[in-house]
């Protein structure tokens, strides 16, 4: 077989010197393993690699943080109690509306036997002044049997009204201190206010079931304790930041805002919610009076008022449960 010409060997060896050594090592290319006509292949191997552009480059793999939905953990019950709730959510509006029901229910239950309010302090202050002036004039009148009975009635109303006002003020003061300590919309404070109120109402009902009714010597303390729960509830509504529910125990201002609305009777959302609070108040007072009338002629007539107070405590526990289920403010903003 004739030997290959020397020019062919030179053609193979010359591109080998131009090809980078590192690229030959990377692709395991050797001039001995290439055929004689592989100069084009060697030139394509010696070209720099084409890198993908930024438009076609896949996004970098980032580590998922704990804030992502897949890795987010449900907050513990302690952190959930410390959360700020969304006071404009439907659940919060339901809780505030039920507070209006509680105000009407409690007032009707206590006013029926002793003509004293535990939530409407305007009436108590007016009654306190009326009875005080009546007692003052009875002092200068001749002592008669009629004036003696009247004096006893006015003295009782002064004591009971004063006890209610003092208890309401104490409850409002303590609730405001809790607001300063924990915040106006903290879940634990809102639910705890109604839980403590329910315990106080149950304690009063237990004392009354032992024979200490609202005509006894401990009546001012019992009414003061009930009014204390209403004062704390009033601060919950006032500090909630939800304007239509700012007054869940005093509705004179609510009536004024409803009838002074420029769009009346075509009310907007705030006006309609104020109307709902008034209806809840009427429903609560009517419900309490219905229960008292039904129990008046029954065997449980002696325990009619304690039973009504137990029903009031049950509603307060329901409000506490609603506050516990109100969504957090951050979650409501995220959904919006």
pLDDT (tens digit, 9 = 90+) per residue, 201-233?
Answer: 999 999 998 888 888 889 999 999 999 999 999
- Cα–Cα distances (Å) from 171 to 122, 165, 284, in that order, read 16, 10, 21
100 within domain boundaries: yes
The pLDDT of 235-241, averaged and rounded, is 79
Mean pLDDT of 227-245: 82
**CA-based end-to-end distance of the chain:** 89
The C-alpha atoms of residue 188 and residue 166 are separated, in whole angstroms, by 26
Query: C-alpha distances in angstroms, 80 versus 43, 184, 189, 224, 325?
Result: 68, 15, 12, 33, 10
3-class secondary-structure state, position 246? coil
* Domain assignment of residue 330, yes or no: yes
Q: How long is the chain?
A: 336
When comparing pLDDT for 254 and 165, which is higher?
A: 165
pLDDT for res 33: 47
- Beta-carbon neighbour count of residue 42 at 10 Å? 18
Q: Is the pLDDT of residue 79 over 90?
A: no
Residue 103 lies in a domain: yes
List, in sequence order, the alpha helices (H) in 210-303.
Answer: 219-238, 252-259, 269-296
- DSSP output for 171-205: HHHHHHHHHHHH-TTBHHHHHHHHHHHHHHHHHHH
pLDDT per residue as tens digits for the range 145-193: 557 778 888 888 999 999 999 999 999 999 999 888 888 778 888 889 9
Nearest-angstrom CA–CA distance, 216 and 208: 10
In a domain, 53, yes or no: no
Distance from C-alpha of 146 to C-alpha of 152, rounded to nearest angstrom: 10
Q: 69: exposed, middle or buried (C-beta count within 10 Å: 0-12, 13-18, 19+)?
A: exposed
Among 138, 127, 137, residue whose Cα is nearest residue 163: 127
Q: What is the pLDDT of residues 10-27, one digit of tens each?
A: 444 444 455 455 444 444
- Lowest pLDDT segment from 133-147, 230-244, 299-313: 133-147
- The verdict on residue 96 lying in a domain is yes
**Any domain includes 216:** yes
Q: Is the pTM of this model over 0.75?
A: no
Nearest to 240 by CA among 294, 306, 194, 301: 194
Structural domain boundaries, residue 240: 84-335
Task: Identify the CA nearest to 164 among candidates 212, 100, 114, 99.
Answer: 114
Assigned domain for 221 exists: yes
User: How large is the average pLDDT for residues 314-331?
Assistant: 87
CB 56 within 8 A of CB 297: no
Q: What is the CATH number of the domain that holds 180?
A: 1.20.1250
Number of domains in the chain: 1
Quick check: is 207 in a domain? Answer: yes
Assess whether pLDDT exceeds 50 at residue 270: yes
185: which residues sit within 8 A by CB, 6+ positions away?
84, 85, 87, 240, 241, 329
**To the nearest whole number, what is the mean pLDDT of the chain?**
77
pLDDT given at position 13: 46
Interatomic CA distance for residues 112 and 117, integer angstroms:
9
- The Cα–Cα gap between 336 and 325 comes to 18
């Amino acid at each position: 077989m004739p030997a290959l010409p020397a020019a062919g060997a030179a053609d193979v060896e010359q591109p080998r010197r131009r090809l980078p050594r590192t690229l030959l090592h990377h692709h395991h290319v050797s001039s001995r393993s290439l055929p004689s006509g592989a100069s084009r292949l060697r030139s394509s191997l010696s070209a720099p690699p084409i890198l993908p552009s930024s438009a076609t480059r896949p996004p970098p793999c980032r580590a998922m943080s704990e804030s992502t939905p897949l890795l987010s953990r449900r907050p513990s019950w302690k952190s959930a109690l410390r959360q700020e709730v969304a006071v404009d959510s439907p659940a919060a509006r339901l809780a505030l509306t039920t507070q209006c029901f509680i105000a009407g229910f409690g007032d009707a239950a206590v006013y029926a036997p002793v003509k004293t309010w535990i939530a409407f302090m305007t009436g108590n202050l007016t009654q306190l002044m009326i009875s005080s002036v009546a007692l003052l004039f009875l002092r200068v009148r001749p002592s008669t049997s009629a004036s003696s009975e009247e004096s006893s009635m006015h003295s009782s109303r002064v004591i009971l009204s004063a006890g209610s006002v003092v208890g309401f003020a104490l409850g409002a003061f303590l609730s405001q201190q809790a607001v300063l300590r924990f915040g106006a919309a903290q879940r634990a404070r809102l639910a705890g206010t109604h839980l403590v109120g329910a315990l106080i109402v149950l304690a009063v009902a237990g004392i009354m079931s032992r024979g200490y009714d609202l005509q006894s010597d401990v009546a001012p303390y019992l009414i003061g304790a009930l009014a204390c729960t209403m004062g704390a509830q009033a601060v919950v509504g006032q500090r909630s930041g939800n304007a239509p529910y700012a007054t869940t125990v005093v509705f004179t201002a609510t009536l004024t805002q409803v009838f002074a609305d420029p769009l009346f009777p075509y009310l907007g959302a705030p006006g309609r919610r104020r109307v709902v609070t008034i209806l809840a108040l009427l429903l609560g007072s009517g419900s309490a009076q219905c229960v008292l009338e039904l129990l008046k002629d029954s065997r449980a007539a002696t325990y009619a008022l304690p039973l009504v107070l137990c029903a009031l405590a049950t509603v307060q526990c329901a409000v506490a449960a609603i506050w516990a289920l109100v969504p957090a403010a951050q979650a409501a903003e995220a959904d919006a």
